[in-house]
Amino acid sequence: MPVFNQSRKNVVRLILVGMFLIIVVRLFTLQVVTSKYKILAEDQGIFRKVIYPDRGIVFDRNQKPILQNTTIYDLMVVPGKIKGSDTALLCKILNIDSAEFHKRIITAIIKNRSYRPSVFEALLSEEKMAMINENMYRFAPGYYLQERPIRDYPYDAGGNILGYLSEVDSNFLKQHEGEGYLIGDYAGKTGIERTYERVLMGQRGIEYWKRDNKNRLTARLEGGIYDTAAIAGQNMFTSLDIDLQALGEKLMQNKLGSIVAVDPRTGGILCMVSSPTYKPSFLTGSDRKRHISQLLLDPSLPLLNRSVSATYSPGSTFKTLQALIGLHEGVITTETRFSCGGAFYGCGKPMRCLDIGTFDLRHAITVSDNTYFANVMQRVINNPIYPNVDSSLRVWDKYMYAFGLGHRLGVDVPSEKKGNIPTPATYDKVFGKGHWNFCSFRSVSIGQGEVDVTPIQVANEMAYIANKGWYHIPHIVDSIEGGDKFHLLDKFKERINTIDIPDSIFEAVHDGMQGVVDRGTGMGAKVPGIAICGKTGTVENYYRGVKQPNHAFFCGFAPRENPKIAIMCVVENSGRFGGTYAAPIVGFMLEKYLKDSITDKKRLERLEYYSNLNLMPPRILAMMKTQDSLMHRRDTAYLLAKGYIKILRDSIGIENEDPTEIIDNLKEEKKPVKPVPPEPAKDSATSQQQAILPESRKRVAIHDSIPRN
């Protein structure tokens, strides 16, 4: 038979070859054509471990580090290995009971399974860390300490400027897609940590690790040849004077308000005090969460950076600008005189003035005469060369924008408010088109009413006056080590000079301002041996329609020739006059900066006196009291805080800011006739300028103001 079936060997061969071909073709599609399995394999077999570089260090103008890095420890646990550890001792050290211990272990197992490490207690305090480290042999190998770099503040000052880091949220991740942020990463939330996040964060490194079927990292992939090294963040040099900052914070303790000082020659911010403030170290380390909710709950809003985010009516400090406009428009000369007979009668209902007499411009600034500047503005608005009040107010607005008011300056501290300069559109809305004239807003002439400014704008306007017609955008960061790769500092190099006003006009205003300190309302700011130009302001304000104690303002620059510092100070609801509290504070600041230290014993005593002065408005104190009892009643304070956070976000300024928007604004404002963006009338019609929650702002009628100074 075998011969008969001989040919069948070929059928068998055919079957073999056929099967071979089927397998090879399938292998070809699987291994060569499809890429899906390679991706799947990488997903499960390879772990990209992100290596976080050190964040950049921030120095002050004297090369002192004011923001640097230090290391803190997390206690890690591998639940599968804790048998034999001294649990009782651990609980004692960490001050937890066994129920809490079990809860944490179970959470760890749920989160990361029992053979992978989880955080048992994050950010150990120093003494706990020391105790655990001492007894480590009792806990190993189930527990170990893991380093974690955190921010460190050698001077523990300037919390509002430096800002803090916090875990990124989903919103942040959406906006910064493709920049390598992952859930659980930390990023600058406020302050320059936020503005310069890209510079400070550095470049992350990536290590490729092999991973096994239980998600454990086993070894470096190929010995690490694909890894990229982390590049540390760039260091930054700021214009801050940290000692001046610390002094400012000391002077402002137990007061609400702000001090901003700018170097007029560069626009560099020398100090930016917002009070109340917080110790920046408060928001790092083990109790961070508790501290944040505590700060968020505080009715005095310590997290709010008042220097850029609070708006106030400028009060009499505004008069210097009115003088500049009046002189440059030619409606007055330095010799023009107006007399105050007890009130300004230009608009029927009298507006009171307290310095009875007849004044020229210099003298009017020195004594802060209301009638004088009401007349000046009346002349500007009713200037016959302009066809109507509408166009003349536009001209006035143009000046104000050139002085840096009514728009965001573009400061490198986040959450800057733009303040408000009333425009024709504002009054069209309030009174109807054609139904208003100078008398409708006469209190604007003395810096009340619809004018809103931020402290940084006032400081900048002083720099403008000191420089006689130009300014740099105020900024914290002067230079970045290794170069400004993202061109964040370019705009600060530009000298902004929109309107050419002759020096002689500035000289006249300087004369008046020097008079304020030498013999006028701001004598409290006097520093022996230094020619200081200044201006006081006493600002009326209302909270929910109820008149509150006045805000004290003082702004100025020094020395008069070659000014080195332009400064402003506001003390909220201090009562009395601008000269009473704000002027002496500025005096100490000027002395400290210009003379490097305050040596005179008497002066030091005065300094201590002002530092210890408690000027907290009774309204805030009352709120604090309710808050405290609230906290006592509920131990779920944290939940409470969560509810608060939403409301507070707006006021504390956790908002978006697009720097290009600010630059665009500036460009627009340089056009001669500028269509002023209409301001919501509701806001501009308020005259209370306190840092309170937006929804509590109520429209308050325009008042005839009687502040002197």
Partner 1 sequence: MNQPVNTTIAKGKDWILIWLYVILVVFGLICIFSVEFKTDDDVLKSLFEFKKNYSKQLIFFGLSIVLAIFILLMDSKFFTATPNLLYIFGVILMLATFAIGKNVNGSHSWIPLGFMNLQPVELCKIFTALALAKYLSRSETDFSKPKSQLIAAGICFLPAVFSILQNETGLALVYFSFLIPMYREGLPPGYLIAGASLGVLLVVTLLFPASSLIIAMSILAGLIIYFSRRKIKRDKGWLMLIVGLWLLAVSFVGFVVPFMFRHVFQKYQADRIFSLVGRDNPFVSDSTANLNPATDPSKKSKKLENYNVKQSKIAIGSGGVLGKGFLKGTQTQGDFVPEQHTDFIFTSVGENFGFAGSVFLMLLYFGMMLRMVTIAERQRSTFSRVYAYSVVGIIFFHVAINICMTIGLAPVIGITLPLMSYGGSSLLTFTILIFILIKLDSDRQMVLR
Query: Cβ of residue 143: shortest distance to partner 1, in angstroms?
Result: 23
Query: Cβ of residue 137: shortest distance to partner 1, in angstroms?
Result: 24
Burial 652-688 (b: 16+ CB within 10 A, else e): bbbeeeeeeebbebbeebeeeeeebeebebeebbbbb
Q: Which is nearer to partner 1, 213 or 614 (CB)?
A: 213
32-to-35, 42, 43, 44, 46 alpha-carbon distances in Å: 8, 16, 19, 20, 20
Q: Which is nearer to partner 1, 23 or 88 (CB)?
A: 23
Closest of 265, 278, 262, 267 to residue 593, by C-alpha: 262
Query: CA–CA separation, 260 vs 456, rounded Å?
Result: 6
Residue 258 DSSP one-character state: E
Q: Which is nearer to partner 1, 45 or 659 (CB)?
A: 45
Residue 160 near residue 416, CB atoms below 8 Å: no
Residues that bind partner 1 (CB under 8 A): 1-2, 4-6, 8-9, 11-13, 15-17, 19-20, 22-24, 26-28, 30-32, 34, 36-38, 40-42, 44-46, 210-213, 218-219, 221-222
Residue 477 DSSP one-character state: E
Q: Which is nearer to partner 1, 33 or 183 (CB)?
A: 33
Query: Cβ of residue 80: shortest distance to partner 1, in angstroms?
Result: 17
Q: Which is nearer to partner 1, 6 or 170 (CB)?
A: 6
Q: Which is nearer to partner 1, 17 or 604 (CB)?
A: 17
Query: Cβ of residue 145: shortest distance to partner 1, in angstroms?
Result: 24
Sign of the alpha-carbon torsion through 246, 250, 251, 253: positive
Question: Residue 510 corresponds to which tokens in the numbers above?
Answer: 């300087």
DSSP string, 10-61: HHHHHHHHHHHHHHHHHHHIIIII--HHHHHHHHHHEEEEEEPPPPPPEE-T
Q: Which is nearer to partner 1, 25 or 647 (CB)?
A: 25
- Peptide bond before 2: cis, by omega within 30 degrees of 0? no
Residue 289 near residue 264, CB atoms below 8 Å: no
> Which residues sit opposite 48 in a β-bridge?
208
Query: Cβ of residue 42: shortest distance to partner 1, in angstroms?
Result: 8
Query: Cβ of residue 229: shortest distance to partner 1, in angstroms?
Result: 22
Q: Which is nearer to partner 1, 38 or 547 (CB)?
A: 38
CB-side neighbour CA atoms (13 Å) of 547: 11
How many C-beta neighbours within 10 Å does residue 302 have? 20
Q: Which is nearer to partner 1, 28 or 486 (CB)?
A: 28
Query: CA–CA separation, 620 vs 631, rounded Å?
Result: 16
Query: CA–CA separation, 401 vs 666, rounded Å?
Result: 9
Query: Cβ of residue 227: shortest distance to partner 1, in angstroms?
Result: 15
Q: Which is nearer to partner 1, 221 or 353 (CB)?
A: 221
Residue 278 near residue 302, CB atoms below 8 Å: yes
Query: Cβ of residue 141: shortest distance to partner 1, in angstroms?
Result: 16
Strands 118-121 and 269-275: unpaired
Residue 568 near residue 588, CB atoms below 8 Å: no
Q: Which is nearer to partner 1, 20 or 345 (CB)?
A: 20
